[in-house]
């Protein structure tokens, strides 16, 4: 397969699938670096428990999520991300998916930092955080909260999403007192909290990730080369205003149809949609 073929195949992936691909590539590359160069390289990207160490490597609040401790660790995280990501992307666009995922990563990391600097039993423990679990939990709990009555097939029977969400959160809460990966489980709960809050606020008409999106856009724009000024064109104001009004009307009508479908999902589940409604929602997500 040529380089062009690889680029084409990558471009065809959804946002969640691209994120999975990046995680797998980083896992392989870091494994080679650890084995052939130095096992300490990972420390520069893992999230340390000490605030002063974190201030020396602030990027680790994001980069820790791309590191994994073993093959089963990454396989489980990527499987859940794939399943939950498909559901989320049937409802919303890739931009909102990334908001939920990375805000979950950040809140999970901050909760880890806070816990290891406040709770007496954890202060003396030497630990660092790796893994995408906080972001994965944010995506999973978001869909479990936003469409709680949607049923999914689990082994030989159907379960509702809210039941899955409740189960995974309780599992983390129960296992924290038992010890073992306490930091990871605390980060899971941070991601779960973000996913729950995001879904509840969005259901009430408020997107709490909008500020994060604007911040990321601002950072990206700093690194973009200034675009060349386009040549001046003569336009007719009346035609321009008419076109703008029509585009605005079409956009509002389009959004109303999406809102009606989402409302139907929240009340009766995804399977209650007709094929035409499912196709429309899928296309709308791709267009956004």
pLDDT tens for 81-96 read 999 999 999 999 999 9
* Residue 102 CB-density burial (10 A; 0-12 exposed, 13-18 middle, 19+ buried): buried
Exposure of 28 in the CB half-sphere (CA atoms within 13 A):
5
Nearest to 72 by CA among 80, 64, 63: 80
Distance CA 16, CA 77 (A): 12
Spatial neighbors of 193 by CB under 8 A, at least 6 apart, are: 107, 111
Cα separation, 63 vs 230, in Å, equals 38
| CB contact at 8 A, 177 and 122 | no
| C-beta separation of 46 from 60 below 8 A | yes
Residue 282 · residue 162 · CB < 8 Å: no
- Give the pLDDT of residue 280: 76
Spatial contact of 133 and 77, defined as CB atoms under 8 Å apart: yes
Residue 231 — left, alpha, or beta (φ > 0 → left; ψ -120 to 50 → alpha)?
beta
Closest CA to 189 of 121, 181, 158: 181
- Kindly state the tokens that stand for 96: 């909102």
Using alpha carbons, select from 192, 200, 194, 145 the residue that is nearest to residue 173: 192
Structure tokens at 142: 């978001």
Q: pTM for this one?
A: 0.77
Q: How many CA atoms lie within 13 A of 160 on its CB side?
A: 14
Spatial distance between the Cα atoms of 194 and 204, rounded to a whole number of angstroms: 15
Cα distance between residue 178 and residue 128, in whole Å? 19
Residue 184 has a pLDDT of: 94
Instruction: Tell me the pLDDT of the chain (288 aa) as tens digits.
Output: 666 677 778 888 899 999 999 999 999 999 999 999 888 999 999 999 999 999 999 999 999 999 999 999 999 999 999 999 999 999 999 999 999 999 999 999 999 999 999 998 898 888 999 999 999 999 999 999 999 999 988 878 899 999 999 999 999 999 998 887 899 999 999 999 999 999 999 988 899 999 998 888 888 888 775 554 545 454 444 555 555 555 565 666 777 778 778 877 777 777 777 777 777 776 766 555
- Return the half-sphere exposure (C-beta side, CA atoms, 13 A cut-off) of residue 5: 2
Count CA atoms closer than 13 A to 78's CA, side-chain side: 20
How much is the pLDDT for 144? 97
d(CA 256, CA 233): 35
E strands in 135-210:
151-154, 157-160
Integer Cα distance of 46 and 49 in angstroms: 10
Q: What is 123-151 written as a DSSP string?
A: HT---EE--SHHHHHHHHHHHHHHSTT-E
Length of the chain: 288
Query: What pLDDT is attached to residue 132?
Result: 96
| CB contact set of 31 (below 8 Å; sequence gap of 6+) | none
């Amino acid at each position: 397969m040529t380089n062009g073929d690889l680029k084409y195949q990558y471009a065809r992936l959804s946002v969640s699938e691209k994120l999975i691909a990046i995680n797998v590539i980083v896992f392989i590359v870091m494994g080679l670096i650890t084995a052939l160069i130095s096992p300490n390289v990972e420390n520069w990207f893992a999230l340390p428990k000490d605030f002063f160490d974190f201030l020396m490597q602030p990027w680790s609040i994001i980069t820790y999520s791309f590191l994994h401790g073993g093959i089963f660790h990454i396989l489980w995280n990527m499987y859940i991300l794939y399943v939950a990501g498909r559901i989320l992307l049937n409802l919303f666009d890739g931009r909102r998916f990334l908001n939920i995922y990375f805000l979950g990563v950040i809140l999970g990391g901050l909760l880890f930092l806070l816990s290891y600097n406040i709770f007496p039993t954890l202060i003396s423990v030497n630990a660092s955080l790796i893994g995408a679990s906080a972001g994965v939990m944010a995506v999973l709990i978001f869909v479990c909260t936003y469409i709680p009555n949607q049923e999914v097939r689990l082994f030989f029977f159907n379960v509702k999403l809210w039941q899955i969400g409740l189960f995974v959160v309780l599992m983390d809460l129960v296992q924290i007192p038992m010890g073992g990966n306490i930091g990871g489980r605390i980060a899971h709960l941070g991601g779960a909290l973000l996913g729950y809050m995001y879904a509840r606020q969005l259901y009430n008409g408020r997107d709490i990730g909008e500020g994060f999106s604007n911040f990321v856009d601002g950072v990206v724009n700093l690194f973009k080369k200034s675009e060349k000024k386009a040549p001046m064109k003569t336009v007719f104001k009346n035609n321009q205003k008419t076109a703008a009004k029509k585009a605005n009307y079409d956009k509002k009508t389009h959004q109303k149809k999406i809102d009606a479908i989402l409302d139907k999902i929240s009340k009766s589940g995804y399977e209650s949609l007709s094929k035409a409604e499912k196709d429309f929602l899928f296309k709308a997500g791709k267009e956004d």
